[in-house]
Amino acid sequence: MRAAGRSLYTRLALRVGLVLSISGLVLLVAIVLSTRLAASDAYDRILTGSALLIAENTWYQNGTVNVDTPVSAFSMLTANDQVFYAVLDPAGRVVAGDPEFRPAIPWERLAEGPVVIQGRYLDLPVSIAFVGRRMPVAGNPWAVVMLAQTNNARESFAKSLGSNASLVILVMGLLTVIAALFTLHQALAPLKQISAAIQHRDLNDLSPLTQEVPAEIHTLVASINEFMRRLGVHRALMRRVIGDAAHQLRTPVAALLSQMELLSMQHDDAGRALHQARLRELTHHLGELVNQLINHAMVQHRADSAPLETMDLAGLAREEMADMLSQHAQRKLDLALQAPAQPCLIQGDPVSLREALKNVLDNALKYGARTLLHINISRSDAAWELRVEDDGPGIPEADWERIRKPFSARGGNRLGASLGLSIVEEVMRAHRGDMRFGRNGDQHFVVTLRFRADHAGEPGPQALN
């Protein structure tokens, strides 16, 4: 038995944890980026508002640009940040603010409205807002308001917002993992119930499991029930074979022992020879009975366990006919085997089919076939029919159903367990075919074995009628 692998719960927990971790990481990165963008956008709007307020207080008069910088423009900005500003007239002169503050002006975007860019001033990272105000002059009409603020406040705000969001995500992620693990434990509970139900069962209890289970594991429970059904069938078969063997062997073994005792009490040669002949007959009968019981058990076992093979029915018939007739070489019989030129392909178990065909031929040679034994193979719709014809008395029609059953009473005071044709019946049933009895126009007795044809390259075989 192979060692148990990693538990299903552990596998699912690891996979769920991995998915949640990746999802949480992606969400964390997304929130950090979005908070930084949100903080940047908020501070850009404040910076732009302050620059617009300065621009609103910039006008042209008497050939010069005048600026009345309102204090409120700077009060809107963060106190912890440094602020730099300058106002340039259309000629590029600084008319207000820091004359050293001369960042590059994005002239191509100035006409579209306020522009905010990131830059550096005095080795400090700053955000710079540019606002253009059109003046009534020739040439370049733009007076430009440039307002810059260091990024300390916005960076601090973004970090604070990101940290708070990360903390919320981590807490919610932990709660989600705990909830997921609990849910997995509850979801796998039916498997544990099934395991407990099987472990606590009696060894002889092969009845189906009746627990209500989720749809996802219904197939598993159905497979277990089907396995127990097949196991029950095989156990019943084993018990029946053992019971049949014990019942059928009891009488011939007792008779054999009795004959041995009678032989030991005989003192004359004639009586001794008589009992010896009886012993040989009983021993031969016992050997045949044991062989039949073994073959019967073998056929029953292989009915649903042996793999089927594609085989030629005509070739199988030729081999078995040659083998059986070699044991009756001294008899003068009209023998014939008629079969199509092409292979008569069927799906079957070669071992069981050989046993079935051998029993049919043996039955015909022992109890029929006075002077004639013919085998004919022909196609009939979706089936191949193998007919064994002999000129013996045959089986009375009233016994056709009875002799299909094992251990049925034998006619003509014949010894044996009457298993030959019952074995044939079981083999044909296992191959989804049938065995039929009848007489032809010459009143010869005919046993017909009907098999499904193997349709190579065609749709599946039709049902036999």
Classified as helix, coil or strand, 40 is helix
Give the Å distances, CA to CA, from 359 to 113, 218, 249, 272, 281: 105, 44, 21, 35, 21
pLDDT of residue 75: 85
Locate the domains of the chain by residue range: 11-159, 203-305, 307-465
- 307-465 falls under which CATH superfamily? Histidine kinase-like ATPase, C-terminal domain (3.30.565.10)
- Measured CA to CA, the distance from residue 451 to residue 64 in angstroms comes to 114
Predicted confidence (pLDDT) per residue in 11-51, tens digit? 888 888 888 888 888 888 888 888 888 888 888 999 999 99
| pTM listed for this prediction | 0.50
pLDDT of residue 460: 41
For the chain, list residues with pLDDT below 50. 1, 412-413, 415-416, 457-465
pLDDT of residue 288: 72
Q: Where do we find the tokens 């990024």?
A: 151
pLDDT of residue 87: 93
Strand order in the sheet with 434-439: 334-338, 372-380, 383-390, 445-452, 434-439
pLDDT of residue 237: 67
The CB density around residue 420, as the number of other CB atoms within 10 Å, is: 24
pLDDT of residue 377: 93
Task: Give the DSSP H or E segment for 379.
Answer: strand 372-380
Q: What are phi and psi of 4, to 5 degrees?
A: -65, 135
